[in-house]
Amino acid sequence: MRLKDEIAFITGSARGIGREIAEAFAKEGALVIISDIKAEDCQVTADEFKAKGYKADIMACNVTSSADVDQAVDKIMEKHGRIDILVNNAGITRDNLFLRMKEEDWDAVIAVNLKGTFNACKAVSKVMLKARKGNIISIASVIGVMGNAGQANYAASKAGVIALTKSLAREFASRNITVNAVAPGYIKTAMTDKLSDEVKGKILENVPLGRMGLPSDVANVCLFLASKDADYVTGQTLLVDGGMIMY
């Protein structure tokens, strides 16, 4: 058991990649706090986990609200007394070509992806700094590294997450807190299932491993970063993209 009795708070974990990360952690003995914007979605996922014998609790919160996130962290602390691992996974897209991109679509994506990560890091790092221990993992994207036509808001938000990760890694290193990012490429999820076969084919031309990633590919790398195996890794962005970007 690589995460036995660790307490992991994972935002946006009722479904998709976040759920997969939570399940990977729970299988390795962590108590996972399923957090998402809708409490009922958190409950469904937590009940499914408990039915499989995993340890799970729920804490709904909207990551765009610092008050909401602070309250969620306070409640987790009251109930469980620790947060060992934070995964900033909640994220949205509002794609459009730049000239057609509405200010509200820019603001919405920055609010969830970047400000949401800031809010959760701020609330949880207070706890981790006191404990002198912790792992923070933020889900970025290859788009934050290479940019993408039609995704200026998303690319900027994820590049921001990568820069935030490096800065916090430097600030928190002396307190034994590691801070890393994981940048998935094209992962088979509800978000990418919507793409046409033609678009998918074009994307795969740029993936040396020749297939889309699976949520479990991302979850396995998060598990590594959350485990003792990665104790000497901080400030890094690990690309989980089948080799799309090599540097």
Catalytic annotation, residues: 154
Q: Which residues bind ligand NDP (CB under 6 A)?
A: 11-12, 14-18, 36-38, 62-64, 89-92, 112, 116, 139, 141, 184, 186-187, 189-192
CB of residue 176 vs ligand NDP: minimum separation in angstroms? 26
The string of DSSP codes covering the chain is -TTTT-EEEETT-SSHHHHHHHHHHHHTT-EEEE--S-HHHHHHHHHHHHHTT-EEEE----TT-HHHHHHHHHHHHHHHS---EEEE---------GGG--HHHHHHHIIIIIIHHHHHHHHHHHHHHHHT-EEEEEE--THHHH--TT-HHHHHHHHHHHHHHHHHHHHHGGGTEEEEEEEE-SB-SHHHHTS-HHHHHHHHHT-TT-S-B-HHHHHHHHHHHHSGGGTT--S-EEEESTTSS--
Q: Which is nearer to ligand NDP, 173 or 209 (CB)?
A: 209
Q: Which is nearer to ligand NDP, 31 or 140 (CB)?
A: 140
Q: Which is nearer to ligand NDP, 131 or 214 (CB)?
A: 214
CB of residue 14 vs ligand NDP: minimum separation in angstroms? 5
CB of residue 62 vs ligand NDP: minimum separation in angstroms? 5
Q: Which is nearer to ligand NDP, 19 or 27 (CB)?
A: 19
CB of residue 183 vs ligand NDP: minimum separation in angstroms? 7
